[in-house]
Structure 1
Amino acid sequence: MFKEWINNTHGIARLASSHAPLSAAELLSSARAKTRLHDFGPEPIEDALAQLQRAVHEEADLNLFGRVSTHWDILRLLTNLLILRDRELADPAILQRPVTQPIFVLGMPRSGSSFLHSLLAEDETSFAPRCWQAIYPYPDHPAAGRHAGPRKVQRQFDFFHRLAPELRDVHPFNALTPQECTEFTAHSFRSLRFETIYHVPSYKRWVKQAGHAQGHRTHRRFLQHLQDTRATRCVLKSPDHVFAMDALREVYPDARVIFTHRDPLKVLPSVARLTEVLRRPFAKHIDKDVIGAQISADWAYGAQQIVAADTDGLWPGQHVFHVHYKTLTAAPLDTIRQIYDHFELEFTPAFRARLQEQIDRKPTGGYGKNVYPFADFGLRPEEERERYRGYMAHFGIAEEVVIQ
């Protein structure tokens, strides 16, 4: 990844010497010139890209690395859209491929959702998109660049881990790890993925107003390209789906949904720390109190949305399963079996053996034991406990943090 930036000397020189970011139209033109492709697909993207560009360059306080990497990332997303469309024009049947009864893991972040997702991905009859596939969906396409594929992605991740070494304990991943859904919705430029990496409050407000339906249509389109035709179902995960449940229901009316739950007082400092670690390489300055306030407000609203979805029956009861963090980590194999029984899926001996091997190798998903003080992010545990009391009572969530 770094070599790609260095080799693009003209673009680097322009970014380094000018405070004016490229316009959305200029970025589209650059991607077209780079790939010699012209059609980005059926959904409009220029307005959303313009909103993102303005917010990132006016609000995120980017350093030079942040400006360069953001430019590279947007061009990658645009390139992928051009490649997807090129494949669709060559084979229109791609957009007719069914995505039947996908399983989505969502709910509180840092509540075992990645661990659960990795276990569900061990079923050979399920398809869980991997990190490298979201970055290079068609590595063999001429426009994808040289050596596109899992090895190149791993080198990119290794480089980023040198910039943010704490990430290995906070959120371990590699090129073959099952990927979060926000990487797919990012291709619509209407995605909560960007507000995690950057401080972009105006863009966040714009996305909330614009809605998430287009992002989820792009998500489905990605799955139509990527899913293994031998698989029975797709298995997907992102806590951020909590903020887009109506769009998720609209685009995937037959989805099976697994909510993960945990004491928010264990969640909030951990999410704030992850956000800090992800933002730090890109920004000149990080305001940890601002991060804490954002995380607290976001997930108080998210908890209300989860309760409302359950109370209002957004999905039929047989389409929903609830998992508590303590139960999952204490008995992961039994939890998976209960999920399969609930959704009437076949729990094969081969799947059980693969699960046991994975659990033995990484009993908690490979996460380190991390403790982050509330005060580091301007959070007050007494106030946060009150914010989430209704959510915890509704789902019977046990307290993990004792307030002194």
Structure 2
Amino acid sequence: MSEVSLVGATREQMCEQAARRTGLDDFGDSDFHAGLDLLLADLKEAGLSAQGMVAARENVLGHLAGRLRSVEGFKQHPEAMKRPIVRPLIVCGIVRSGTTALHKLLSMDPQFQGVERWLCSAPQPRPPRAEWAANPDFQQAKASLDAMLAQAPEMLEDHGMAVDTVEESLDLLAQSFRSNMFCSQFVIPNYDRWYRAQDDTPSYLRLADNLRLVGAHDPHRTWLLKNPTDTFSLQEVLNVFPDAMIVQTHRDPLQAIPSVVNLIGSAHRIFRGEQADIQGVFAREEEFWQQAMSRADAVKDAHPGRVLDVQFNDFVKDQIGFVRKIYDQFGLVLSEEAETAMLGWLAANPRRSSTMQRFTPEDYGHSSDALKERYSTYRARYGY
């Protein structure tokens, strides 16, 4: 049977196609139906190019396939599903505020475990690393990532993507089809409004189950997670991980927002080609992240002491000192082995000075003064 086009595709058709690809048919509960239905409806009007239509279809099918793989894994490993997720270390903060570098740096500490990129697309108990290269799921994930980076090579520099290193939890959260991932990649205003009104606790409950699955053979190490959009859903994070050690990174929005737009603009060019509206991307992102920061501050005011606020500039100046501050805050031990591994990672991944501040609001047809006004409360609170 030929693959269904995304134009006019129904949820039932997309689910049937994902089932054919995986040989599985149990999607679990129906909590993802509303989001997927609305996403498919909005994508019809999202101005996708022919190439973008194919890429968007693969995007949706990938998350459906991942959901199928997860449900099958949950059933095969019932003992792992009973284990608590204890004191995960979670990094959040506006995109382009050092979350990716901090996440990868912390992952050098063997006391932590994260979810590697290939396991986000094919959730399963993590095999021994020596077996990854021969694993068909690993090979498929690598081919998909290589194809994406061929279209948008800047994603490698700006996001440090690699198939075998820890990845943010956004892909696993997207299995519930309530995700800012879709809103940032596509012009889907109806879905965007719906998403922002949702209680995202079920998505984080599913994330916790996926962590139990991936860590089924490694139940004792502490989980290390990272997702900038956790800033928007901080209350839901605490609903599911009440003892989490949360680090929120901060950066002046006058620097962060233009850099966010540059990164997300790459995705829009993949999906919309020459029709990509980067000024529109700027308008959406500056508004969304202001809302996210405001929501996070309200949660922190209601739960004082639950989140460690740290500054991007401090991380740039002294990465190991920055790590020590985090460890001291949460009573963690930085071993000599971990510090040596971190120093090795820093030496192999030097920060490019050209990425410090390459873009301004004016580059995208917007005003620095207007951005200052929108973020005046946030900038005052965090000393910008």
1:257 aligns with 2:246: yes
Trace 1:207-222 onto structure 2 (pairs within 5 A): 207-222=195-210
RMSD, aligned α-carbons = 2.3
Give 2:76's aligned amino acid.
A
String of CA shifts for 1:215-254, please: whole Å, max 9, x gaps.
1122111111112625421111111111111211111111
Match of residue 10 from structure 1 = 2
2: distance between equivalents of 1:180 and 1:43? 25
Match of residue 21 from structure 1 = 8
Give 1:165's aligned amino acid.
P
For the 8 Å contact 2:251–2:311, the answer to whether it is kept is yes
Secondary structure of the residue aligned to 2:287 is helix
Give 1:88's aligned amino acid.
F
1: distance between equivalents of 2:167 and 2:262? 20
1:203 aligns with 2:191: yes
Match of residue 130 from structure 2 = none
Give 2:213's aligned amino acid.
H
1: distance between equivalents of 2:137 and 2:356? 32
For the 8 Å contact 2:261–2:282, the answer to whether it is kept is yes
Deviation at 1:52, TM superposition (A): 1.0
Give 1:279's aligned amino acid.
H
Deviation at 1:269, TM superposition (A): 0.7
User: Cα 1:43–1:216, aligned 2, differ >3 Å: closer, same or farther?
Assistant: farther
Match of residue 304 from structure 1 = 294
Give 2:103's aligned amino acid.
H
Match of residue 112 from structure 1 = 98
Aligned counterpart for 2:320 among listed residues 333, 336, 341: 333
Q: Point out the more displaced range, 120-129 or 69-78.
A: 69-78
Deviation at 1:263, TM superposition (A): 1.0
String of CA shifts for 1:327-365, please: whole Å, max 9, x gaps.
111111011111111101121111111111112222338
For the 8 Å contact 1:291–1:377, the answer to whether it is kept is no
For the 8 Å contact 1:190–1:214, the answer to whether it is kept is no
Deviation at 1:147, TM superposition (A): 5.3
Match of residue 135 from structure 1 = 121
String of CA shifts for 1:138-164, please: whole Å, max 9, x gaps.
3999xxxx9533343223222112211
Secondary structure of the residue aligned to 1:356 is helix
User: Cα 1:80–1:96, aligned 2, differ >3 Å: closer, same or farther?
Assistant: same
Match of residue 381 from structure 1 = 368
String of CA shifts for 1:158-198, please: whole Å, max 9, x gaps.
21122112323332311123211111111111111111211
Match of residue 5 from structure 1 = none
Deviation at 1:307, TM superposition (A): 2.6
1:229 aligns with 2:223: no
Aligned counterpart for 2:136 among listed residues 148, 166, 178: 148
For the 8 Å contact 1:170–1:367, the answer to whether it is kept is no
User: Cα 1:365–1:376, aligned 2, differ >3 Å: closer, same or farther?
Assistant: closer
User: Cα 1:82–1:275, aligned 2, differ >3 Å: closer, same or farther?
Assistant: same
Trace 1:267-286 onto structure 2 (pairs within 5 A): 267-284=256-273, 285-286=275-276
Match of residue 68 from structure 1 = 54
Deviation at 1:382, TM superposition (A): 1.1
Match of residue 350 from structure 1 = 337
User: Cα 1:124–1:366, aligned 2, differ >3 Å: closer, same or farther?
Assistant: farther
TM-score with structure 1 setting the length: 0.87
Match of residue 391 from structure 1 = 378
Deviation at 1:26, TM superposition (A): 1.6
2: distance between equivalents of 1:165 and 1:308? 37
For the 8 Å contact 1:130–1:179, the answer to whether it is kept is yes
1:266 aligns with 2:259: no
Give 1:190's aligned amino acid.
R
String of CA shifts for 1:111-156, please: whole Å, max 9, x gaps.
1111111111111010111111101223999xxxx95333432232
The sequence identity of aligned pairs, in percent, is: 25
2: distance between equivalents of 1:360 and 1:75? 38
2: distance between equivalents of 1:104 and 1:66? 33
User: Cα 1:231–1:66, aligned 2, differ >3 Å: closer, same or farther?
Assistant: farther
Secondary structure of the residue aligned to 1:149 is helix
Match of residue 131 from structure 2 = none
Secondary structure of the residue aligned to 1:106 is strand
User: Cα 1:75–1:140, aligned 2, differ >3 Å: closer, same or farther?
Assistant: farther
User: Cα 1:374–1:25, aligned 2, differ >3 Å: closer, same or farther?
Assistant: same
Match of residue 93 from structure 1 = 79
Aligned counterpart for 1:188 among listed residues 173, 176, 184: 176
Give 1:54's aligned amino acid.
A
For the 8 Å contact 1:115–1:365, the answer to whether it is kept is no
Q: Point out the more displaced range, 369-378 or 157-166.
A: 369-378
User: Cα 1:140–1:246, aligned 2, differ >3 Å: closer, same or farther?
Assistant: closer
1:247 aligns with 2:236: yes
Q: How many residues align?
A: 376
User: Cα 1:376–1:64, aligned 2, differ >3 Å: closer, same or farther?
Assistant: same
Secondary structure of the residue aligned to 1:268 is helix
Give 2:97's aligned amino acid.
S
2: distance between equivalents of 1:96 and 1:345? 25
2: distance between equivalents of 1:339 and 1:384? 30
2: distance between equivalents of 1:264 and 1:106? 15
2: distance between equivalents of 1:299 and 1:83? 32
Match of residue 401 from structure 1 = none
Secondary structure of the residue aligned to 2:310 is strand
